[in-house]
Homo-oligomer: A and B are copies of this chain.
């Protein structure tokens, strides 16, 4: 059994960054399995990200194996953050394209991120308003439980 192709969705949802896997110092060429260990993504997903243009052209060894740089890891950290906030992959690909196109796309990148930030803020407000409903419901059940314990003690 190989060690890669692991990392179920649930796990990734929690870590999705540097989590007990600090970046080895003084190194700048990581194999795919090292990146898997670092990011919590699967090797499949990393290859898929590259295929769809979400990676800034990953370097290869003379035998064709991928070698990721610290810059790639930084990029994957950002992508992970954007993913966590629910940015669609298509939008992240668009952002990656802008990065590849150079500095004259700064304004558009800023706009893309600003729009997304607004979405995230709305999402937070939404979640917070739902927390109130949840609190209320939970209180109702807790009250009922306490009442039944009073009449019908263990």
Chain A interface residues toward B at CB < 8 A: 78, 81-82, 84-85, 103, 106-107, 109-110, 113-114, 116-117, 120-121, 123-124, 126-128, 130-131, 133-135, 137-138, 141-142, 144-145, 148
A100 CB to nearest B CB, Å: 16
23 contacts between A and B (CB under 8 A): A81-B130, A81-B133, A81-B134, A82-B130, A84-B127, A85-B127, A85-B130, A106-B141, A106-B144, A106-B145, A110-B138, A110-B142, A110-B145, A113-B134, A113-B137, A113-B138, A114-B138, A117-B135, A120-B127, A120-B130, A121-B131, A124-B131, A127-B127
Return chain B residues, CB-CB under 8 Å to A145: 106-107, 110
Return chain B residues, CB-CB under 8 Å to A110: 138, 141-142, 145
- Those 6 A-B pairs whose CB atoms lie nearest each other, nearest first: A110-B141, A117-B134, A81-B130, A85-B130, A124-B127, A113-B138
Q: How far is the CA of A142 from the CA of B134 in the complex (A)?
A: 39
Q: Which of B78, B133, B144 contacts A78 (CB 8 A)?
A: B133
A85-B127, A127-B85, A127-B127 known; A134-B107 Cβ under 8 A: no
A96 CB to nearest B CB, Å: 14
Q: How far is the CA of A21 from the CA of B110 in the complex (A)?
A: 36
Return chain B residues, CB-CB under 8 Å to A127: 84-85, 120, 123-124, 127
Q: How far is the CA of A145 from the CA of B106 in the complex (A)?
A: 7
